[in-house]
Amino acid sequence: METVDRAILELLVEDSRLSFAEIGRRVGISRAYARERIQQLVRDGVIEKFTAVVNPVKLGRGVSAFLDVRVRPSHVEHFCEVLGTAPEVVSLYLMSDMQSLHIHTLTDTEEHLDAFVSRHFFSSDGVASVDCKLLLRRIKHRRGGPRV
């Protein structure tokens, strides 16, 4: 990837609302070339989407929890389908052992987190174990950058 493209990406990760002119000025290229490079990054799939970063606390969803759930292999697809549509689930990852799900949830209260966990995991014979940790403090947040 070109140095110019990396510089553009760094700027967009920090503030995706920057104008082509401002990006061009900061990178040292023309507005038209900045526009061309960004459009190419979108076409190439390097930039998947432009989005806003929303503070969940301001929306009343201040309980952030990370769950590591081991499910029986025959239940993995079912859990992925169900949890993928659950409004409490912010991120859902299937891990390399093909039976562990790493889940990030946001809820408004610990009671609602408990209800979510009970509803989805405690009544299912497909669940081998659940490990839940509440977020105490965010030290560093990806906010853009490579999707992992």
Q: What is the mean pLDDT of each run of 10 residues along the chain (148 residues)?
A: 91 93 97 97 94 81 94 93 95 94 95 95 91 89 57
Residues 6+ apart with CB under 8 A from 7: 26, 27
pTM of the predicted model as reported, rounded to 2 decimal places: 0.75
Contacts 24+ apart (CB under 8 A), 57-60: 60/108
pLDDT reported for residue 140: 76
Domains annotated for the chain, with CATH where assigned, are 3-43 (1.10.10.10), 56-134 (3.30.70.920)
pLDDT reported for residue 148: 38
pLDDT reported for residue 114: 96
What stretch of H or E contains 92? strand 89-94
Burial of 101 (0-12, 13-18, 19+ CB in 10 A): buried
